Structure 1
Amino acid sequence: MSNSKYRKVQSMLHLSVFILAVCLASVSCTKKIDINIPETAQQLVVEGNIEIDKPPVVLLSKSQNFFGNININNLSSYYVHDAKITVKSGSDSVQLVEFCLNNLPLSDEQKKELLSSYGFDMDDSVPLPNVCIYSIPDLFSCILNGNCSMFGKANTTYDLKIEAEGKTLTSTTTIPTPRGANYLEVRPRPDSIPNDSFVSVFVNITVPDTFGNFVRYWTKRNKEPFYLPASQSVWDDRLFVGLNISLPMERGYPKGQKVDIKNYSYFLKGDTVTLKWANIDSKTYDFYYTLENDGSGSPFSNPVKVKSNIIGDGLGVWAGFGAKYYTIIVPK
């Protein structure tokens, strides 16, 4: 076969392959496909923590199917009641008791503020869900006058055991010695304009010269009732071992709240900003790092498996926080 004929045949083959590919693509795009997604087994979900000078708190709920429907009206059905939960440290042990929102001595407005800190956008027309937690029996006297049957201590390990719905879950966490920050400072934000009302707040830290230091942080502005974590709230020391550095501090928002992307993470002139800065152990870091980098539900992001430190038929986190607090008033 001559070169010219060979090139013609080759061109025809290429064209045929292209047409075939287009036809297949057209068929595949219009064909109806039914996917049967199996239901996943329901698991217990744990969100528990203990902080220096504060009692242990555990929120226990049940998981739902990935495409399941959960809303404010059926939220209460996901909480697990009548669980036996024990926290132990050395020879000290306490069995936690259940406290539910309906029984707390709070006004409806205070309850709404509490729920908003966990991402619930409460509408006045919707009844308040009866959110429940487990904590020490003398919780209120602990809060009011500091008399606690158990509270967190630095450099101490705490074992958690949960018995509920025929399942047993366990976990262990350590409250590291808090290293803390050096100071907070206010700087103009990077894209600052004349008479800009927004500023950046930086935290200055001295990182130890040994690996294995992990931090989680929260912020609170003015009269906000609760400390709120940033969207990327955990740091490790891999890039900063042995350094003195200042890092930008992202403002925390309630989960699910709509934010102004242009001014996201910044603070306002005149704000009173309080930072909660907590050293955490490696497993606590792994949980929050993977949780906060799960793609935020985007179908185009790579899936990330959240690293739970709960052992047994459950998932979630049991975290120890070696926290310190710092406040700065942003000049007007």
Structure 2
Amino acid sequence: MIYKLLTLLLPMIILYACEENYIPETSISQQEIVVEGYIEAGAEANPTFVILTKSIPFITTIKSDQFTDLFVKNASVTVFDGQKTIALTEICLNQIPPDLKENVYALLGFNPDSTAADICVYADLFNQLTRESGRKYDLKVIVDGKTITATTSIPPFVGLYDFKWAEPPGKPRDTLAELNVKINDPKGVKNYYRYLTASEGGRLIPPFGSVTDDAVFDGKEFEFPLQRAQKRGGGFDPETFGLYKRGDSITVKWCSIDKAHFDFWNTRDFSANSGGPFSAYTRISTNINGGLGIWGGYAVGIYRMKVPPK
């Protein structure tokens, strides 16, 4: 039996259910190391990389010339894949020759518009780690005499199929289409998912609610509309929200993730979506021991298609 999801409310329900109001007491002297690192397996998986930065107080002002100082350099960063330990190579983008920068941006999945600062990353440049579903990966960071650790996993990939284009609900719109997809969720196993979309060769971006679990469709064949992601700060138009422009070439990146990775994005999305002068601080979930942030595994599937004309 096919279960039709009329509106993509599930991610938002999950987000609102997990909000935790919190007023932090932080200062520059209480800075922590923030980890953002990912390891992927599957079609067109990005290289494994880790970015290290320093936390800043909840209410603070950062000038553009101070941004570079937040990146942590000269750290020891290693990953154990269950068989071997690999040291990640530090790369600072301003040290890369101009004719190679575009290739590095593409390799690491960076947006060139956001690389004015001297961003430093630690990456598995030679693809030495064994990346596959079912493995756990231990991250170890040593910086300024402090040791930070985290563990993530890459779960089995559960993909999408039966992509169908449909007329959007409401008044007729000749230039827009809704994308409906199906998933066959494994029964009795808790599954977590995240996705990103891109149009016309643009950068992959996540939607406002980028994660979901299978609480509603565990063990079922399930059909739902997969909304087009919209860049934050780009304005909100209810007439076009979540819809795809006919004639565009689009890319969907669909990922299976573990619970700790899901919890991070679940709280992170909620925090990003609840901004405003009267918004409350939301404590973002982390799997980092001795720091903040996320070390997350992705089982990745890439889907490319053309939005058909009407």
TM-score range, shorter chain: 0.7 to 0.9
Contact kept in structure 2, 1:228 and 1:252, CA below 8 Å: yes
Which residue is 1:8 aligned to? none
TM-score by length of 2: 0.81
Contact kept in structure 1, 2:26 and 2:58, CA below 8 Å: no
Contact kept in structure 2, 1:252 and 1:265, CA below 8 Å: yes
Contact kept in structure 2, 1:287 and 1:317, CA below 8 Å: yes
- How is 1:182-201 mapped onto 2 (pairs within 5 angstroms)? 182-195=161-174, 197-201=175-179
SS at match of 1:228: coil
Residue 88 of structure 1 and its aligned partner are, at CA, apart by 0.3
Higher relative contact order (CA 8 A, sep 6+): 2
Which residue is 1:77 aligned to? 69
Deviations 1:275-328 (A, max 9, x none): 11111111000010011112532344454321100011x100000001111122
TM-score by length of 1: 0.76
Which residue is 1:234 aligned to? 211
Q: Which amino acid aligns with 1:166?
A: G
Which residue is 1:60 aligned to? 52
Structure 1 spans left out of the alignment, 5+ residues: 1-36, 143-147
- How is 1:1-332 mapped onto 2 (pairs within 5 angstroms)? 39=27, 41-52=30-41, 54=45, 55-104=47-96, 110=102, 128-136=116-124, 139=125, 142=126, 148-195=127-174, 197-224=175-202, 226-254=203-231, 256-262=232-238, 263-294=240-271, 295-312=273-290, 314-332=291-309
Structure 2 spans left out of the alignment, 5+ residues: 1-24
Q: Distance in 1 between matches of 2:282 and 2:26?
A: 20
SS at match of 1:293: helix
Which residue is 1:34 aligned to? none
The higher radius of gyration belongs to 1
Q: Distance in 1 between matches of 2:83 and 2:113?
A: 42
Q: Distance in 2 between matches of 1:64 and 1:118?
A: 23
SS at match of 2:268: helix
Contact kept in structure 1, 2:36 and 2:294, CA below 8 Å: yes
Aligned-pair Cα RMSD in Å? 2.7
Q: Which amino acid aligns with 1:133?
A: V
Contact kept in structure 2, 1:50 and 1:57, CA below 8 Å: yes
Residue 71 of structure 1 and its aligned partner are, at CA, apart by 4.2
Q: Which amino acid aligns with 2:35?
A: V
